[in-house]
Amino acid sequence: MAGLYLRGQAVGACPLGNKFEILQFTAWAAISLYLVVGVTFRSSLFGNLTSLMGALLTLLSLSVPKWDATRHPHLFGGNVWIEFHAALALFSYGVFALLALTSAMFLFRHYSLKSKQPGGWFAFLPSILDLDQIGVRLLGTGVVLLALSLAIGSVYWVRDTSTVNAAKLLVTVGVWLAYAVVFLLRVRGRLLAKKFAGACLVLFACALLSLGPVDASRHAVAGPTHLPDVSAP
pLDDT digits (tens, 9 = 90+) for 103-148: 998 998 888 888 766 656 566 677 888 888 889 989 999 999 999 9
Question: What does the alpha-carbon distance between residue 112 and residue 119 come to, in Å, rounded to a whole number?
Answer: 8
Q: Evaluate whether residue 40 is within a structural domain.
A: yes
The segment with the largest mean pLDDT, out of 35-39, 56-60, 122-126, is 56-60
Q: Evaluate whether residue 230 is within a structural domain.
A: no
The span from the first CA to the last CA of the chain, in angstroms, equals 23
Q: Evaluate whether residue 227 is within a structural domain.
A: no
Q: Evaluate whether residue 204 is within a structural domain.
A: yes
Tens-place pLDDT, residues 174-192: 999 999 999 999 999 999 8
Total domains, the chain: 1
Q: Evaluate whether residue 195 is within a structural domain.
A: yes
Helices (H), 12-160: 19-37, 44-63, 80-114, 128-157
**Average pLDDT score, the chain:** 78
What phi, psi does 225 have (nearest 5°)? -130, 125
Residue type, 105: M
More confident of the two residues 74 and 186: 186
Task: Note down the domain range covering 167.
Answer: 2-222
Q: Evaluate whether residue 231 is within a structural domain.
A: no
